[in-house]
Amino acid sequence: MADEYDPRDYIEAVLDLVERIPVGRVMSYGAIAECLAPRFGRGSARRVGTIMALYGGSVPWHRVVTVNGRTPPGHEAVARQRLVAEGVTFRGERVDMAAHAWSPEPGSA
């Protein structure tokens, strides 16, 4: 059975998850993909990045960084400024993932 779903559904799920990221916390593209993988079956960090680039304007995209703590290219200054304002500590140009990495609680769909 091909559980076909609208691409918009996956996009909505990504955006919804990003909106759930608490203040002062960050999440990596790969973590988001991994979180939605068991629910959609298809998740790749690259896709999440593409979706964020297109539809991220409606969500706190600055709370989404690479697994290395690197802020998205083209908006590094903005992302850093917003994160710092939320209490996120930086390690040079990178977020201290070890201290602010966040993950959704199991069952909290």
Footprint of DNA (CB under 7 A): 7, 28-30, 42, 44-50, 52-53, 56-57, 61, 64, 66-68, 70, 72-75, 92
Nearer of residues 92 and 107 to DNA, judged by Cβ = 92
Which DSSP string corresponds to the chain?
Answer: ------HHHHHHHHHHHHHHSPTT-BEEHHHHHHHHHHHHS---HHHHHHHHHHHGGGTTGGGEE-TT-BPPTT-HHHHHHHHHHTT--EETTEE-HHHHB--PPTT--
Q: How far is the CB of 67 from DNA (least distance, A)?
A: 4
Cross-strand bridge partners of residue 64: 27
Q: How far is the CB of 106 from DNA (least distance, A)?
A: 20
Q: How far is the CB of 73 from DNA (least distance, A)?
A: 5
Nearer of residues 57 and 107 to DNA, judged by Cβ = 57
Q: How far is the CB of 16 from DNA (least distance, A)?
A: 16
Nearer of residues 54 and 109 to DNA, judged by Cβ = 54
